[in-house]
Amino acid sequence: MAVVMVGVLVVPTINAFTPAGVGRSQFLSLRSSSSSSEETQVLDPFTGYKAGSELAWKDVTEGTGEAVEEGDVLTVSYSGYLFSTRQQFGKTEGLTFKLGGGTVMPGFDQGIRGIKEGGKRIIRIPPELAYQDRGAGNGKIPPNSDLEIDVEVTKVYRGVMGFVPLVGQNRLILFVILLAISIGAPMIGVGEKGFI
């Protein structure tokens, strides 16, 4: 009995729906046909991930609210592992960044899109979307390493509210105090005789 495999790569838009746990950027539909029957199966790129594969992710917990999009500010907790050995290279709680802002590696930025607040996801990142041939972490991440990141989105800020966590609440309070002093000091005469 001969089996013929025909592969079709489907690349939906970033907002398109795909089956749960399958990365939006890619999924592969294979159709196998034999003389007796035909069947279609979807190969999950996360489960089939091998070193050098394309970016893939799997949602562990869906989360609530609207899916995050470029420009949103996220606070996340994550643990990072080398894909090949599962050796942990880092763990951070309370990392805040702007999605699409270029402050995190491209694979992390792309792999977290579409998650919701409270969502947990495992992202598998190929070297070209991570640290490439440079490596990182004082040798903890060798050059050309595939990475696996377990991430939880703890807070999502949209619009101007995203400014506060990026700047930091203490810095914002200090800025407001200094602004009030700079406006108020001339009104009461401070600074005219060398105080400031």
pLDDT one-digit tens code per residue, 119-138: 999 999 999 999 999 999 98
Three-state DSSP class for residue 166: helix
Is the per-residue pLDDT at 189 higher than 70? no
Residue that is written with structure tokens 């903890």 in the block: 140
Q: What domains lie within the chain, and their CATH numbers?
A: 51-169 (3.10.50.40)
How does residue 160 score in pLDDT terms, banded at 50, 70 and 90? low
Residues ≥6 apart with Cβ < 8 Å to 129: 55, 105, 106, 107, 110
Q: State how far the Cα of 102 lies from the Cα of 145, in Å rounded to an integer.
A: 20
Is the per-residue pLDDT at 104 higher than 70? yes
H or E element in which residue 104 lies:
none
The order of strands in the sheet holding 147-157 is 56-61, 120-125, 147-157, 73-82, 88-98
Q: What is the pTM of this model?
A: 0.66
Render pLDDT for 65-85 as a digit per residue (tens, 0 to 9): 999 999 999 999 999 999 999
* pLDDT reported for residue 33: 40
Q: State how far the Cα of 80 lies from the Cα of 6, in Å rounded to an integer.
A: 35
Percent pLDDT > 90 in the chain is 51
